[in-house]
Structure 1
Amino acid sequence: MDDEAPTPEPPPALSPSGASTFEQCPRRWRFRYVDRLPDPPGPDALAGTFAHRVLELLCGEAAADRTVERARVLARMVWPELAESDDFAALDLDADGVRAFKWRAWSAIEGLWDVENPATVEVHATELRVDTVVGGVPFRGVIDRVDVEPDGLVVTDYKSGRAPSARFAPARLTQVLLYAAALEAESGTRPVRARLLYLGQRSVDTTVTRDTLDEASEGLRRTWDDIRRSCEVDEFPARPGPLCGWCAYVDRCPEGSAAVAERQARREAEEAALLALAESA
């Protein structure tokens, strides 16, 4: 790494997003959490943030007031805050782009009613901050929502991306299981379920047990140990792959740049082959 780069040190606490970033690519983790380089959200991520904010406010309302009409009012209230932000300005959208962004964000908000009726949910807390120790690791994060159901507490997290197939669902659920472990550590009460609400699609749920919490906590511990070792030796290898094309730091990463160029060349070769096949038909 650059001799003038900051000396890497483990963070004071690990969040689910920080752990996930390191697991995907230690090099990107260093750029973001050690070098503190900007990592502005893209339009999909920013639209998801906007939807989260509106749904947070909606679920803070009385149950009978959690309607689509009220969500529209809240969205209009929140919009100026987002529209004036640096992250939104960085998208540099024209008028058509802004309309498409609003449509994407509203589709996520309205998609809540495809997976549940919020008027029937007993909300215990929204945007609940947790700062505790999970599996021996200092842990912090923000839980989108904690619900009360007849058999106990349920940790709920909104997702505006595509719902995973059954094969990949367990890995996606790790985040909410860590939140469940943190909630138990702070309150002494173990949630009975954890779920991801994929807005406009479906709910992905899991039962919270000692075994599922231990498995998630052990994974967090392994990642924490790997981060500490990487910081000690100042080695953060790149893990090039399909996501490099969406990485804010790809221009700083030779391996990532090479992966993007390789994929582009392969795509162009495939298109040329298809065109040649069509012309010869």
Structure 2
Amino acid sequence: MPARLFVATPTKLLNFADCKRKYRYTYLETPRPPKGPAWAHNTVGASVHETLADFWRWPAGRRTAMEAVNRLRSNWRHEGFRDDAQSARWRERAADMVGLYLKDIDPYFEPRGVERTVSFTTARASLRGRVDRIDERPARDGSGGTELAIVDYKTGRRPLTPTDARSSLAMALYVLGARRVLRRACTRVELHHLPTNTIAAADHDEESLARHQRRAESIADDAAAAEERWHAGLTPAEADELFPPEPSPLCGWCDFARVCPQGRRAAPTKEPWAGLDEGDGPPLVSEDL
């Protein structure tokens, strides 16, 4: 019988690589340990992503920046914010990000995919993920054909660079998945950073894609072996040894910090709104849309 493939997303692989204790809590424990409260920065990111996905699903005649801004405001959620005033302030900042990003977008451009699931298999793993947007553009080699570009929206406070795009395991796996599913050339990856309205882009070659694939397969092999031992039955001590925590300053941001003693010792648990950049933010543009 052929070996059973380990099914994973980039997020699942990176969770195992970053902290095996978090991986265990997320994917294996039943019932799963309770998470902490929702993060405000995740609320902002989800609202922006949902708005942009809806924008590209609308008919071209409806695709205006103001329509998207109105959609974001009417569907805004309040999870994770300190109070109503902070939530309202970030609703307007998110609306400004979306409005500025879409201000000069061609409404008649049709992406090849929006929130599109792509996947591919290797000898040992089935890897899949959902891409924010896949563009089909004229090939840059002058052949007259087309090529795909992987687009990922980012709302974090840190500006991004081409190195961030090229080093992202997820983006590389999306390239490989898009090639398999859509059967088009694809090397381009772009991180669209809405807080600064900038694009960090990079082009993969076959060597860099192969390197990312090898890393993904290596993580998948280790995770599959750990899961096999888990399902075979472990004592609590054996489970703790097989899925150890990785204490670091990042533990303060972990959803499971409240149930992880090592994480609490490594870093104080952050307030749900601590990930927000409370600086001046992007300029208001709604009145110009």
If the TM-score is normalised by the length of the shorter chain, which range does it land in? 0.7 to 0.9
Runs (5+) with no aligned partner, structure 1:
1-9, 264-281
Task: Report the counterpart of residue 236 of structure 1 in structure 2.
Answer: 243
Task: Report the counterpart of residue 20 of structure 1 in structure 2.
Answer: 14
Higher mean alpha-carbon deviation, 133-142 vs 48-57, is at 133-142
Kindly tell me the number of residue pairs found equivalent between the two proteins: 244
Report the residue type matching 1:123 in the other structure: P
Q: CA deviation at 1:13?
A: 1.9
Q: Deviations over 1:55-109 (max 9, x none)?
A: 01112234564332121232245x1xx53xxxx55x3753213213313432442
Report the residue type matching 1:255 in the other structure: Q
Task: Report the counterpart of residue 252 of structure 1 in structure 2.
Answer: 259
Q: Deviations over 1:221-252 (max 9, x none)?
A: 11111212332444111111121111121122
- Counterpart pick for 1:34 among 28, 50, 53: 28
Look up the SS of the partner of 1:148 in the other structure: strand
Report the residue type matching 2:218 in the other structure: R
Alignment of 1:54-133 (within 5 A): 54-63=51-60, 65-77=62-74, 79=75, 83=77, 88-89=78-79, 91=80, 93-113=82-102, 117-119=105-107, 121-133=109-121
Task: Report the counterpart of residue 269 of structure 1 in structure 2.
Answer: none
Alignment of 1:211-230 (within 5 A): 211-230=207-226
- Counterpart pick for 2:134 among 143, 146, 157: 146
Distance 1:254 1:118 in 2: 51
Q: CA deviation at 1:140?
A: 2.1
Contact 1:135 1:217 in 2 (8 A): no
Look up the SS of the partner of 1:180 in the other structure: helix
Report the residue type matching 1:227 in the other structure: A
- Counterpart pick for 1:163 among 159, 165, 172: 159
Distance 1:18 1:111 in 2: 33
Task: Evaluate the alpha carbon distance shift between residue 133 and residue 38 of structure 1 in structure 2; reply closer, same or farther with a 3 A threshold.
Answer: farther
Q: Deviations over 1:150-183 (max 9, x none)?
A: 1111111111112335665533x32111111011
The higher-RCO structure (CA 8 Å, 6+ apart) is: 2
RMSD: 2.9
Q: Deviations over 1:174-223 (max 9, x none)?
A: 21111110111223323131211111322111213322221221111111
